[in-house]
Amino acid sequence: MLKLYTDAASKGNPGPTGLGALIIADHQQYQETATLARADNHHGEFAAAQFGFQYILDHFGPQQTVLFYTDSRVLSDAIGKNYTKHYQRELTELNQLIGQFTTIVTQWIPDQQNHGAHHLANQALRSLE
């Protein structure tokens, strides 16, 4: 079982965006970052989730149970309902990744419980300056 925490940080809305993914597997942390030249915060949250799930797929394979934590209500609701009014393309792409895993459990968490991924997203954003 793996835990995945993701977050995005944008400078401007839209603007340069940092993505952070914190993966915990076998009591070890993997801290990963990426950047987008331009995105709004919601697009960034979907991109961060895609980035995190792709990392897990590439490094751990699809035979995984993943506990996914996000502080984005838009993202967690979209995954839970398999619907979003404004981000359907992003949800479809994310579902293609999620569908490859054995089990995914998505849970919304408050910002205060997502410090690791938040720090990584801000670190990635600062790298663009």
Range of 108's domain?
A: 2-72+83-126
Q: Give me 10's structure tokens.
A: 């944008």
pLDDT in tens, 32-78: 999 999 999 999 999 999 999 999 999 999 999 999 999 999 999 99
Which of 32, 26, 40, 25 minimizes the C-alpha distance to 6?
Answer: 32
Residue 78 inside a domain? The answer is no
How many helices, marked H, and strands, marked E, lie in the chain? 4, 5
Question: What percent of the chain lies above the pLDDT cut of 70?
Answer: 100
Instruction: Measure the CA dihedral 25/35/110/72, to 10°.
Output: -110
**Count of positions (residues) in the chain:** 129
CATH number at 15 reads 3.30.420.10
C-beta neighbour count of 129 within 10 angstroms: 6
